[in-house]
């Protein structure tokens, strides 16, 4: 207090530092708590779904995906949700790399539900000026031949015949595409992504702005109410984040809700449903 009894409002340069440090500590603790909760939930789900657990364990052991165990479980649970809620439509994956996440989806979906897997099955296309420096630096690393793959292995995009490798991997898992209602569709998304009239679940894992925007623009109109879009790269690459933010900004906020798991999940809202953001 000042002699007059009023609060002294003079703020020194470090007055807020303890508060900022405390806030940083709290945020760090919350992140760790959320991570622990997700790990616990993933472990519980895997124990109750042993066949899916076996597939996920093998996918990870064979280094077929960049996704961590909890993210694969989240993807499998999303497929389970649309099944349990009776949401009709295909499952779409845009960007499959070595096919690990697509194999998990093929293993957990109903046999009658179609799985459409889109990819260039080769070197990733270049970014655009709507991607920031982080993306362009990564692409330069890839095209220069310096990129490493999962676990330090050869980068998957350098594979001479990635399509055949992914198809063979499906066969090795006992999930031949022709027998499990799965189609592998090679080419650029702008040329090939012509989804069916009904989609229940979409996994978008294509990194850069333009590819993500094509996926959002073409998939959202055919997503069923209650359907889920899983954005793999929202927190990883600037272009993906910009495309998603821009697209969602063009929608009415009542059309979707955001669920924060290991990845960003966007749920198309049923008529009259609540719009909330939550962590599950």
The 10s digit of each residue's pLDDT in 91-125 is 999 999 999 999 999 999 999 999 999 999 999 99
Place of tokens 């984040």: 241
- Distances 176 to 53, 73, 169, 261 between C-alpha atoms, Å: 19, 22, 9, 30
Reply yes or no on whether the pLDDT at 265 is more than 70.
Answer: yes
**pLDDT tens for each residue of 215-254:** 999 999 999 999 999 999 999 999 999 999 999 999 999 9
Tokens encoding 50: 């042993």
Where does residue 197 rank: exposed (0-12), middle (13-18), buried (19+ CB within 10 A)? exposed
What does the pLDDT read at residue 197?
93
119: β partners: 186
């Amino acid at each position: 207090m000042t002699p007059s009894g009023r609060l002294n409002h003079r703020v020194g340069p470090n007055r807020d530092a303890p508060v900022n440090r405390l806030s940083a500590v709290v945020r760090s603790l919350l992140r760790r708590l959320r991570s622990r909760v997700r790990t616990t939930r993933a472990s519980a789900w895997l124990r109750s779904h042993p066949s899916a657990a076996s597939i996920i364990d093998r996918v990870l052991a064979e280094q077929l995906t960049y996704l961590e165990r909890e993210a694969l479980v989240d993807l499998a649970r999303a497929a389970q949700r649309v099944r349990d809620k009776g949401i009709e439509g295909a499952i779409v994956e845009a960007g499959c790399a070595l096919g690990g996440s697509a194999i998990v989806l093929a293993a957990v979906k109903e046999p009658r539900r179609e799985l459409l897997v889109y990819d260039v099955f080769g070197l990733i296309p270049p970014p655009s000026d709507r991607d920031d420096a982080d993306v362009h630096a990564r692409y330069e690393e890839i095209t220069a031949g310096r990129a490493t793959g999962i676990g330090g292995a050869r980068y998957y995009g350098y594979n001479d015949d990635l399509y055949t490798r992914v198809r063979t991997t499906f066969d090795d898992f006992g999930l031949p595409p022709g027998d499990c209602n799965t189609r592998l569709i090679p080419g650029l998304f702008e040329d090939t992504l012509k989804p069916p009239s009904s989609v229940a679940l979409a996994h978008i894992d294509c990194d850069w702005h333009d590819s993500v925007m094509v996926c959002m623009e073409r998939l959202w109109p055919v997503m069923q109410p209650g359907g889920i879009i899983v954005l793999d790269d929202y927190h990883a690459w600037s272009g993906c984040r910009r495309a998603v933010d821009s697209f969602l900004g063009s929608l009415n906020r009542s059309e979707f809700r955001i669920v924060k798991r290991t990845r960003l999940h966007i749920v198309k809202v049923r008529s009259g449903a609540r719009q909330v953001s939550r962590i599950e």
